[in-house]
Amino acid sequence: MKDTQTPHVPVAIVGGGQAGLSTAYCLRQKGIDSIVFERHEKFHSWRNNRWDSFCLVTPNWQCRLPDFHYGRDYGGTDPDGFMLKDEITAYVDAFAEKTRPDLLEHVDVTRVTPDGDGFTVETSIGTWTCDQVVIATGGYDTPIEPSYAAKLSPDIFQMHSVDYRNVGQFPEGGVLIVGTGQSGVQLMEDFTRAGRDVHLAVGPAPRSPRRYRGRDATDWLHDAGHYEITIAEHPDPVKALTQTNHYMSGRDGGKEIDLRRACVEDSVELYGSLADMDGTTARFLPDLRQNLDDADRSYLGIRRQIDAFIAQQGIDAPEEPPFAKVWEPAEERTEVDLAAAGITSVLWAIGFRPDYSWIDADVFDARGKPVFDRGVTAQPGLHFIGLGWLNTWGSGRFLGIEEDSRYLADRIAEQLAAAVPQACHA
> Which residues here bind ligand FAD, judged by CB under 6 A?
14-20, 37-40, 44-46, 56-58, 62, 108-109, 136-138, 140, 182-183, 386, 396-399
Q: Which is nearer to ligand FAD, 19 or 259 (CB)?
A: 19
Handedness of CA 89, 95, 100, 106 (dihedral sign): negative
Among 112, 98, 146, CA closest to 274:
146
Q: Which is nearer to ligand FAD, 81 or 381 (CB)?
A: 81
185-208 b/e (C-beta count within 10 Å ≥ 16 → b): bbbbbbbbeeebbbbbbbbebbbb
Least gap, CB of 322 to ligand FAD (angstroms) = 29
Q: Which is nearer to ligand FAD, 180 or 183 (CB)?
A: 183
Handedness of CA 291, 296, 297, 298 (dihedral sign): positive
User: What is the Cα–Cα distance from 272 to 383, expressed in whole angstroms?
Assistant: 39
Residue nearest to ligand FAD (CB): 17
Distances (CA, A) of 140 to 45, 95, 136, 352: 9, 22, 11, 5
User: What is the Cα–Cα distance from 12 to 30, expressed in whole angstroms?
Assistant: 15
Least gap, CB of 14 to ligand FAD (angstroms) = 5
Instruction: Put residue 38 in one of left, alpha, beta given phi > 0 → left and psi -120 to 50 → alpha.
Output: beta
Q: Which is nearer to ligand FAD, 13 or 412 (CB)?
A: 13
Least gap, CB of 253 to ligand FAD (angstroms) = 14
Least gap, CB of 244 to ligand FAD (angstroms) = 12
Q: Which is nearer to ligand FAD, 17 or 114 (CB)?
A: 17
Q: Which is nearer to ligand FAD, 58 or 334 (CB)?
A: 58
DSSP 198: E
Least gap, CB of 60 to ligand FAD (angstroms) = 10
Bridge partners (DSSP) of residue 120 are 113, 129
Least gap, CB of 111 to ligand FAD (angstroms) = 9
